[in-house]
Structure 1
């Protein structure tokens, strides 16, 4: 989690910082083989140097980015969780709880789906 210290320290809103730290710590604990890192100014986790999931914060939400394949795989579950999404990210409003079961499924999907991937992003 040391990789994320500077990023977390830069989040001005205390509740947003706390929520972000909680989510990043959860991913780190649930998936200890994933490598935490900062790239493109955002916290993310990789597996064998390929991107698995990333996070960012804005005024109204935390964004979770499982790549387009992750969004496509879980479109219905994302809607059922009450989250909005684009082609590349899921928006979790600060006022909504984090659906950790969904987050776990997205990460597991990417780990399995990208097991043989030799590039950072899917092609």
Structure 2
């Protein structure tokens, strides 16, 4: 894991939350080794050929995943089925809820395929 991610993780006070975020970030790296790790907007993000794929952040009640609005719309039913609290461009996984790695895998794979020819950081 890159040093910026470690610095971010070290700032998460609750050890169980810190461990969970570390587990998710390590899972992303293992499942999608081609993704580049970056730290931007005070959160760990993953990119592919310079385009945004997914980011993660933490709050008191949840961990958020942010794959962009188009992806939230594409996977709205699955996000609702997991009882993740969706925002327009991100979803919230309560600390008490399990992480649906299959859903995260499909979200990341969708972004990789959908943005394969994207030449900008964000979708246009």
Task: Give TM class, smaller chain.
Answer: over 0.9
1:19-64 deviations in whole A, cap 9, x for unaligned?
A: 0000000000000000011011100100001000000000000000
Unaligned runs of 5+ in 2: none
Quote the residue 1:11 is aligned against.
Answer: 12
1:62-112 deviations in whole A, cap 9, x for unaligned?
A: 000010011010000001111110111000000000000000000000000
Quote the residue 1:48 is aligned against.
Answer: 49
Alignment partner of 2:20: what SS? helix
Quote the residue 1:109 is aligned against.
Answer: 110
Unaligned runs of 5+ in 1: none
TM-score (norm 2): 0.97
Quote the residue 2:92 is aligned against.
Answer: 91
How many Å separate the matches in 2 of 1:13 and 1:23? 16
TM-score (norm 1): 0.98
Q: CA deviation at 1:17?
A: 0.5
**Structure 1 segments (4+ residues) deviating >4 Å:** none
Structure 1 vs Structure 2 CA RMSD = 0.6
How many Å separate the matches in 2 of 1:74 and 1:39? 24
Alignment partner of 2:56: what SS? strand
How many Å separate the matches in 1 of 2:29 and 2:70? 22
1:70-89 pair list within 5 angstroms? 70-89=71-90
Quote the residue 2:121 is aligned against.
Answer: 120
Q: CA deviation at 1:117?
A: 0.5
